[in-house]
Structure 1
Amino acid sequence: MQSSSSLFPVALISAERRGDLSEDVYRLKPGNSPDGTVELAVTRLGLAEVAESRGVPVILLHGSFSNRRFWYSPKGLGLGAYLARQGFDVWIPEMRGHGLSRRNRDYAKNRVADYARYDLPAIAAFVREQSGQIPHWIGHSLGGTTLAAALGGQYLGAPAVASVALFGCQVSRTYWPLKIPPVEWGGRFILKRFAQLSGARLKRGPEDEPIGLALESMRWHGLFGRFGDGERDWWKGLAEVDVPLLAVSAAGDRQDPDWACRKLLEQVGSEHRQYLCLGRRQGFSGDFGHVEMLVSKAAQVEVWPLVERWLKDPLTPVTGAQPEVLAVG
């Protein structure tokens, strides 16, 4: 089968019309990581009637225990579908072993370090090749963390990133028991007995997560841990990042609290930075939660239009009739 890309093997595995939207699903085989079995499914959304005249590309990265359906439901709802209907060229990757992306040989060992170093650059190159434009990136939760790692590790930069929006993303929340070495060692010993964490069993979402992610997170939060891998300190690297950045927290988010999301933003060296907290005190209808900040009827009315505004002009403050926005830098 002829590849859909000149970069690496890519197969168009489905091309469907979903109401007013076109849905093309590609399977990428970048072959750029130590595990040569890695395959990544990437869904492209656009308006069915104007498929040949697509707009600005936007890449949406889902969080943990999730897949493309966080952005685009079978009924054609979600931020991804909304942006496609506003004329954007929407791309939705699914991380290794999630959704339509098959589990790779070393699935249990998958880490953010692998996503950031190998997968995101391959996705960026493919989207640029297909669209002819530099994409904007939006990440939620772990998707945002992966974006931060890719930026701080200098795996992604201005040539591949027009702007970045991080929703519910932080790496500074402290888990004090992990600062006690015997507790961390014991936890790692127990976790290594498993290959994955079940999203359904933990009531966190429809997908499983490889145990490698949990072990990596424990290392970050250990006594001498840092946000990085053995080669690079991603946290320090964020100070060198120079792309427009929007960081969004939710006042009702107990998983990734407001103060920690703000701290991540403040570490980034970009000249153009904006911070937004979705809460009643900031002029929104209520205190949004970790998921509700992007997936809810309230988000559809109050948050999605702000995302659209940001994508159209990341250099201008995201101001609206109600929300209070903190512009930094």
Structure 2
Amino acid sequence: MQQESIYIEDGENQLHLRHIWKNNGGVPIFMLHGLIENGFIFYTEKGKGLACFLAEQGFDVYVGDLRGRGKSHPAINAKSSFGQHEAITRDIPLFLEKIQSLNPQKMHLIAHSWGGVLITSFLARYPEWLDKVLSKACFGTKRVVSVKTFEAYFKLGFMWRYIAPILARKHGYFDAKKFRYGSDSETQQSLKESIAWVIPGQWRDHSDNFDYYGAAQNIVWPPTWHFTGISDYALGHKQDVQLFIDECGNSAADFSVLSKQAGNLVNYDHINILTHPKAVDDHFPKLVTWLKAKVEIGN
């Protein structure tokens, strides 16, 4: 298995795309992380993680770092002013265009958490890309948080909606890693926009008022599989994942809640659904089978 870093120039920014592969000519997969995260949720340089597992199965894997996160340059700082609008209208298109230039086959899309909201928003806004997509898989993806658990109240009601904005105003951005709340930083703008979307209400772009909800109702979605863990009590609770599926009008989507009761090896949570050592013997192989079946249908 091989890995390389690809950098995409966009003005003063360099977007990082990690390329992981074993065999040339494999079907491409694009993977996108969520908030206060980066691409390392999917891979390690030593060959662990879902991205590396998929590369071992013959896929041509590309993992994006949204601008300012992970190995993208420059890192988010007090001068960073971009938000979700740039992720949807600049970062994701640039990633996919680069992948298409390297491997022009139809591709799979895989996202974790808020990355699934961004990718879904991108497809709703730019439906011309649907012809190039074989499938979409999301892990712990929700938009609105409606569940009333202690963890949801603490992580989102208190930390995300109250403490994080205070720290962001003080420092010019939210350094989630420094405060042990996440793996990467967020700008004040992305924090503001995500807080607005998490609260039940309209799914519209805060920059130009684009109606993602309305656009989503007219989409014929590619085959979609949502996963979440039974122990995900806040950031991807099964109730809120189902709400997002319904909001997208994607009634044909598959939805699996991973738990020992359902036959899985672990009662997974929001993070270890991708990082647990047992995942390679549990839901990862099932995903591979599903992805390969979609290649046969799509081509």
If the TM-score is normalised by the length of the shorter chain, which range does it land in?
Answer: 0.7 to 0.9
Equivalent residue pairs, number: 280
- Residues 1:206 and 2:206 aligned together: no
Stretch moving more, 240-249 or 307-316: 307-316
- Residues 1:228 and 2:208 aligned together: no
The question of whether the paired residues in 2 share the 8 Å contact of 1:28 and 1:40 is answered with: yes
Aligned pairs for 1:46-65 within 5 A: 46-47=21-22, 50=23, 53-65=24-36
Residue 11 of structure 1: aligned partner? none
Aligned pairs for 1:158-173 within 5 A: 158-173=130-145
Aligned pairs for 1:81-100 within 5 A: 81-100=52-71
Q: CA deviation at 1:307?
A: 1.6
Q: 1:248 corresponds to which letter in structure 2?
A: F
Residue 301 of structure 1: aligned partner? 281
Give per-residue Cα distances to partners, 1:178-200, cap 9 Å, x unaligned.
xxxxxx89996874444221222
Matched position secondary structure for 1:286: coil
Residue 218 of structure 1: aligned partner? 195
Q: 1:238 aligns with which of 216, 230, 233?
A: 216
| Structure 2: stretches of 5+ with no match in the other structure | 154-160
The question of whether the paired residues in 1 share the 8 Å contact of 2:36 and 2:184 is answered with: yes
Matched position secondary structure for 2:244: helix
Q: 1:197 corresponds to which letter in structure 2?
A: F
Residue 241 of structure 2: aligned partner? 261
Matched position secondary structure for 2:64: strand
Residue 19 of structure 2: aligned partner? 44
> 2: distance between equivalents of 1:187 and 1:73?
28
The question of whether the paired residues in 1 share the 8 Å contact of 2:92 and 2:122 is answered with: yes
Residue 277 of structure 1: aligned partner? 257
Change (3 A) 1:185 1:203: closer
Decide which structure has the larger Cα Rg and report it.
1
Stretch moving more, 150-159 or 72-81: 150-159
Q: Higher relative contact order at CA 8 Å, sep ≥6: structure 1 or structure 2? A: 2
Give per-residue Cα distances to partners, 1:123-155, cap 9 Å, x unaligned.
111111211212111000121121122123236
Q: CA deviation at 1:241?
A: 2.4
The question of whether the paired residues in 2 share the 8 Å contact of 1:149 and 1:228 is answered with: no
TM-score, normalisation: structure 1: 0.76
Change (3 A) 1:145 1:68: same
Give per-residue Cα distances to partners, 1:220-239, cap 9 Å, x unaligned.
2458x422213312123222
Residue 197 of structure 1: aligned partner? 174
The question of whether the paired residues in 2 share the 8 Å contact of 1:151 and 1:237 is answered with: no
Residue 147 of structure 1: aligned partner? 119
Q: CA deviation at 1:83?
A: 0.7
Q: 1:113 aligns with which of 77, 80, 85?
A: 85
The question of whether the paired residues in 2 share the 8 Å contact of 1:112 and 1:149 is answered with: no
The question of whether the paired residues in 2 share the 8 Å contact of 1:249 and 1:258 is answered with: yes
The question of whether the paired residues in 2 share the 8 Å contact of 1:152 and 1:233 is answered with: no
Q: Percent identity?
A: 21
> 1: distance between equivalents of 2:101 and 2:212?
27
Matched position secondary structure for 2:91: helix
> 1: distance between equivalents of 2:127 and 2:49?
29
> 2: distance between equivalents of 1:92 and 1:72?
8
Q: CA RMSD in A?
A: 2.8
Residue 157 of structure 2: aligned partner? none
The question of whether the paired residues in 2 share the 8 Å contact of 1:124 and 1:160 is answered with: no
Q: CA deviation at 1:286?
A: 3.1
Matched position secondary structure for 1:280: coil
Change (3 A) 1:222 1:247: closer
Q: CA deviation at 1:204?
A: 3.0
Change (3 A) 1:94 1:156: farther
Matched position secondary structure for 2:119: helix
Stretch moving more, 154-163 or 297-306: 154-163
The question of whether the paired residues in 1 share the 8 Å contact of 2:49 and 2:275 is answered with: yes
Stretch moving more, 188-197 or 83-92: 188-197
Change (3 A) 1:89 1:219: same
TM-score, normalisation: structure 2: 0.83
Matched position secondary structure for 2:246: helix
Aligned pairs for 1:61-80 within 5 A: 61-80=32-51
Change (3 A) 1:102 1:263: same
| Structure 1: stretches of 5+ with no match in the other structure | 1-20, 178-183, 317-329
Change (3 A) 1:186 1:309: closer
> 1: distance between equivalents of 2:270 and 2:164?
26
